[in-house]
Structure 1
């Protein structure tokens, strides 16, 4: 999976506005978070695997997918 596929996923299935991602990380505007990840990836000069924004985006995607049943009331079916 690459960042374009993740972007398409979040465009078709938007995450909740606020996400308690990690014990030390609470995202209060997920669309802004995603936008900053996409910009960071676009502007990174190097291997995608070395890009911090890519790692954040990928970790966030896995977190949302893993917790999808918990968020089912906010996601359209």
Structure 2
């Protein structure tokens, strides 16, 4: 998945406003975070795989996807009980 596909994903299903991403990283405004990643990627001169903004965007996307799967699983278990 490239950054344009991730951007379309977040435009169609926005993440929560605040996200506890890592023990040392809490994002208080995900839209500002995403916008800074998009700008960083756009302005990076070099291969995409060496762009720090790309890695942040990719890792954040994976975190959101994992969190959604966990929440769906928990919701399904609660309904089945």
TM-score (structure 2 length as normaliser): 0.85
Match of 1:46 in 2: 46
Shift of 1:20: 0.0
* Unpaired runs of at least 5, structure 1: 72-77
Divergent runs of 4+, >4 A? none
Shift of 1:35: 0.0
Higher radius of gyration, 1 or 2: 2
Match of 2:14 in 1: 14
Give the superposed CA RMSD: 1.1
| Structure 2 counterparts to residues 30-69 of structure 1, below 5 A | 30-69=30-69
Aligned residues: 71
TM-score (structure 1 length as normaliser): 0.89
Whose helix proportion is higher, 1 or 2?
2
Determine the C-alpha separation between the residues in 2 that align with 1:22 and 1:31.
17
Equivalent residue of 1:65, what SS? helix
Which structure has more relative contact order (CA 8 Å, sep 6+)? It is: 1
Match of 2:25 in 1: 25
